[in-house]
């Protein structure tokens, strides 16, 4: 496919030169008609320009009292694009670091970077200087666009790393906005090739050097033409909302690319707390909600009376969706949560189910455009109902920049996610555990997330994490770290009650032989439980 394409538009070839060799790429499959993209494709222009031209007064973004139409989004994007080129010397292929909470200005920055043919490297707002330095040096960042109030962690990098220029944006301290004020409101997008890199997403791994996953312009469109097109039942009347930052590719799709794809509005919570999300749903009459399973649980426990009746589709990703959370949300709202598994390496969700096809407790089936299999210990695909390591392929796939770990993720053309799944007789995939979360105790294989799900059914448990703990007799034991709900205090009696509860729910050999109560659990920047951190002193 690549041999027929015109030359890359990238003048700065840093990313292209550091893609893995083609023989280390996963097999790519484009078997849906909508996945046949033109050779010249700029996803920023493809998502924004036509709707801005045909429906300029349609609402694009709502955040509290702020309302941006598609005209304003396009004009701001285009002014930023001129500023990137004229004032900041950004060229096609330049990596531009973005830092900020989800705001209209951040979205316009992302679109501007992509329209000028550069590469967006969006970072989590909670990252600190040491983490930002790793990212900046890994992909040789020279330009950073940062929300005015979040610059402190980047300032030490200017001049002490590859970072040369920091441009604040936003309603306050908006240097970028001031530079852009007099710029033209139209911008002809750079004619990038469909397989030019347009974004680099860093994995949320907890140890070691972060991995930089490169995605092409066609990959951004592919997540729209697969998961969004087949699972979301949306149109121009929809209003999307949710909590994931767009540095998390789940959020990039859910809150930026998908609303543009459907030509609808996105309502961005001013606060990502349960109350803030509930208020945003009620005020905007949001129809589609995207957040984590933990957040759905928190929403149900939040003491607010906001009206959630406008919701039609609710999507969860980022961590396992426990069955009891799915059932409780259905009981409260009448809506079955659309579960999904995706990966930074794949850009978005590739196994899911929607509507009447949802089977509570199961993640779903491969999204149209993707195929999946389960691998045995020898790397062979298993037939029929079985349990094994999940492997997937489709129109997107893993391409780590300059990283020997590419060959651990891509095996025989498959993207091997590191998850253990079970496939039933109807072809539904059920999450078992991360491969490294399987606990072997006295010869028994025990999935830590299964024990966590059982503990979460106890009314005293607010949050929990389960890991294997070295033991002289058993090799490992199951150890649980528990954050208690309000009104419950740690005690040996409560620990025994939790152990007995797990024995009643699961096979008795799976119960946690050790329970440690904590005030909080360690989490990654994306809000996932950081199990490796549980083994560190509290």
String of DSSP letters for 235-269: -TT-EEEE---TTSHHHIIIIIIHHHHHT-EEE--
pLDDT tens column, 109-167: 999 999 999 999 999 888 888 889 989 999 999 999 999 999 999 999 998 889 999 99
pLDDT tens column, 55-110: 999 999 999 999 999 999 999 999 999 999 999 999 999 999 999 999 999 999 99
* Percentage of the chain exceeding pLDDT 70: 96
Q: Tell me, what CATH number does 471's domain have?
A: 3.30.300.30
| pLDDT at 24 > cutoff 50 | yes
Distances (CA, A) of 136 to 93, 95, 159: 15, 9, 12
Residue 508 lies in a domain: yes
| Angle, helix 448-456 to helix 492-505, in steps of 10 degrees | 110
Q: Determine how many CB atoms are found less than 10 A away from the CB of residue 13.
A: 12
Confidence of residue 1 (pLDDT cuts 50, 70, 90): very low
Confidence of residue 465 (pLDDT cuts 50, 70, 90): very high
What is the chain's mean pLDDT, rounded? 92
Residue 356 lies in a domain: no
What distance lies between CA 498 and its chain's CA centroid? 32
| pLDDT at 204 > cutoff 70 | no
**What pLDDT, on the 0 to 100 scale, is given for residue 438?**
74
- For residues 159 and 352, which has the higher predicted lDDT (pLDDT)? 352
Residues in the chain: 538
Of the candidates 412, 503, 523, 492, the residue with the CA atom closest to the CA atom of residue 455: 503
Q: Determine how many CB atoms are found less than 10 A away from the CB of residue 412.
A: 12
Q: What is this structure's pTM?
A: 0.85
Residue 462 lies in a domain: yes
**What pLDDT, on the 0 to 100 scale, is given for residue 305?**
56
Confidence of residue 346 (pLDDT cuts 50, 70, 90): very high
Number of domains in the chain: 1
- Provide φ and ψ at 374, rounded to 5°: -110, 135
**What pLDDT, on the 0 to 100 scale, is given for residue 458?**
95
**What pLDDT, on the 0 to 100 scale, is given for residue 309?**
92
Residue 528 lies in a domain: yes
**What pLDDT, on the 0 to 100 scale, is given for residue 506?**
85
String of DSSP letters for 293-340: HHHHHHHHHS------TT--EEEE-SS---HHHHHHHHHHHS---B-E
**What pLDDT, on the 0 to 100 scale, is given for residue 206?**
39
**What pLDDT, on the 0 to 100 scale, is given for residue 207?**
41
What distance lies between CA 161 and its chain's CA centroid? 28
String of DSSP letters for 103-158: -HHHHHHHHHHHHTT-EEEEE-TT--HHHHHHHHHHTT--EEEEEGGG-TTTGGGT
String of DSSP letters for 139-206: TT--EEEEEGGG-TTTGGGTTTSS--EEEEESSSS-HHHHHHTTS-S-------BTTSEEEEEE---S
What residues form DSSP beta bridges with 503?
Answer: none
* Percentage of the chain exceeding pLDDT 90: 77
Instruction: Report DSSP state, residue 356.
Output: G
pLDDT tens column, 32-48: 999 999 999 999 999 99
**What pLDDT, on the 0 to 100 scale, is given for residue 537?**
59
Residue 376 lies in a domain: no
Host H or E run for residue 467: strand 461-471
Q: Which domain holds residue 522?
A: 442-534
Residue 448 lies in a domain: yes
What residues form DSSP beta bridges with 475?
Answer: 471
| pLDDT at 507 > cutoff 80 | no
Highest mean pLDDT among 289-298, 379-388, 471-480: 379-388
| pLDDT at 303 > cutoff 70 | no
For residues 231-235, average pLDDT: 97
| pLDDT at 493 > cutoff 90 | yes
Of 169-183, 339-353, 489-503, least confident by mean pLDDT is 169-183
What residues form DSSP beta bridges with 199?
Answer: 120, 215
Please answer whether residues 264 and 285 qualify as being in contact, where contact means their C-beta atoms are separated by less than 8 angstroms: no
pLDDT tens column, 521-537: 988 766 778 887 887 65
String of DSSP letters for 54-102: H-TTSEEEEETTEEEEHHHHHHHHHHHHHHHHHTS---TT-EEEEE--S
Residue 155 lies in a domain: no
Confidence of residue 273 (pLDDT cuts 50, 70, 90): confident
Instruction: Report DSSP state, residue 401.
Output: T
pLDDT tens column, 385-439: 999 999 999 999 999 999 999 999 999 999 999 889 999 999 999 998 777 777 8
| pLDDT at 3 > cutoff 50 | no
Between CA 170 and CA 178 the distance in angstroms is: 10
Confidence of residue 188 (pLDDT cuts 50, 70, 90): very high
Please answer whether residues 113 and 120 qualify as being in contact, where contact means their C-beta atoms are separated by less than 8 angstroms: yes
Confidence of residue 441 (pLDDT cuts 50, 70, 90): confident
**What pLDDT, on the 0 to 100 scale, is given for residue 2?**
42
Residue 487 lies in a domain: yes
| pLDDT at 496 > cutoff 90 | yes
């Amino acid at each position: 496919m690549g041999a027929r394409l015109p030359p890359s538009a990238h003048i700065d070839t840093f990313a292209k030169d550091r893609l893995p060799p083609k023989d280390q790429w996963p097999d790519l499959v484009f078997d849906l008609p909508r996945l046949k993209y033109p050779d010249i494709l700029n996803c920023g222009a493809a998502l924004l320009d036509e709707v801005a031209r045909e429906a300029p007064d349609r609402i694009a973004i709502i955040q509290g009292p702020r309302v941006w139409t598609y005209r304003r989004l396009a004009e701001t994007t285009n002014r930023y694009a001129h500023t990137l080129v004229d004032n900041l010397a950004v060229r096609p292929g330049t990596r531009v670091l973005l830092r900020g909470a989800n705001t209209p200005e951040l979205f316009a920055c992302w679109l501007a970077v992509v329209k000028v043919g550069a590469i967006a490297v969006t970072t989590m707002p909670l990252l600190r200087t040491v983490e930002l330095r790793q990212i900046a040096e890994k992909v040789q960042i020279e330009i950073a666009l940062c929300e005015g109030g979040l610059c402190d962690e980047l300032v030490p990098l200017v001049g002490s790393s590859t970072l040369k220029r920091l441009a604040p944006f936003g309603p306050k301290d908006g240097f970028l906005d001031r530079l852009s004020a007099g710029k033209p409101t139209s911008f002809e997008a750079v004619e990038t090739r469909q397989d030019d890199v347009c974004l680099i997403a860093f994995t949320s791994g907890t140890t070691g050097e972060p991995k930089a996953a490169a995605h092409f312009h066609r990959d951004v469109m592919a997540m729209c033409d697969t998961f969004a097109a087949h699972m979301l039942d949306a149109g121009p009347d929809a209003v999307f909302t949710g909590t994931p930052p767009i540095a998390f590719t789940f959020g990039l799709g859910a809150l930026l690319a998908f609303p543009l794809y459907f030509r609808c509005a996105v309502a961005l919570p001013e606060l990502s707390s349960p109350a803030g999300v509930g208020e945003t749903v009620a005020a905007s009459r949001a129809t589609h909600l995207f957040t984590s399973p933990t957040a759905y649980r928190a929403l149900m426990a939040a003491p607010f009376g906001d009206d959630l009746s406008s919701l039609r589709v609710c999507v969860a990703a980022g961590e396992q969706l426990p069955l009891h959370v799915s059932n409780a949300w259905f009981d409260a709202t009448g809506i079955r949560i659309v579960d999904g598994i995706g990966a930074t390496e794949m850009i978005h969700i590739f196994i899911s189910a929607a509507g009447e096809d949802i089977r509570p407790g199961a993640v779903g089936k491969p999204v149209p455009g993707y195929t999946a299999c389960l691998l045995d210990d020898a790397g062979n695909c298993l037939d029929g109902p079985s349990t094994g390591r999940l492997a997937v392929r489709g129109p997107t796939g893993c391409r780590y920049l300059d990283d020997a770990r590419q060959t651990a993720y891509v095996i025989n053309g498959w993207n091997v996610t590191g998850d253990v799944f079970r496939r039933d007789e109807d072809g539904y995939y059920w999450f078992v555990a991360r491969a490294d979360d399987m606990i072997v105790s006295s010869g028994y294989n025990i999935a830590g997330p299964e024990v966590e799900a059982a503990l979460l059914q106890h009314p005293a448990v607010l949050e929990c994490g389960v890991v294997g703990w070295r033991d002289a007799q058993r090799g490992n034991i199951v150890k649980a770290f528990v954050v208690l709900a309000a009104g419950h205090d740690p005690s040996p009696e409560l620990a025994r009650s939790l152990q007995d509860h797990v024995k009643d729910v699961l096979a008795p050999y799976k119960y946690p032989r050790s329970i440690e109560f904590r005030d909080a659990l360690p989490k990654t920047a994306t809000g996932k439980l950081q199990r490796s951190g549980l083994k560190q002193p509290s």
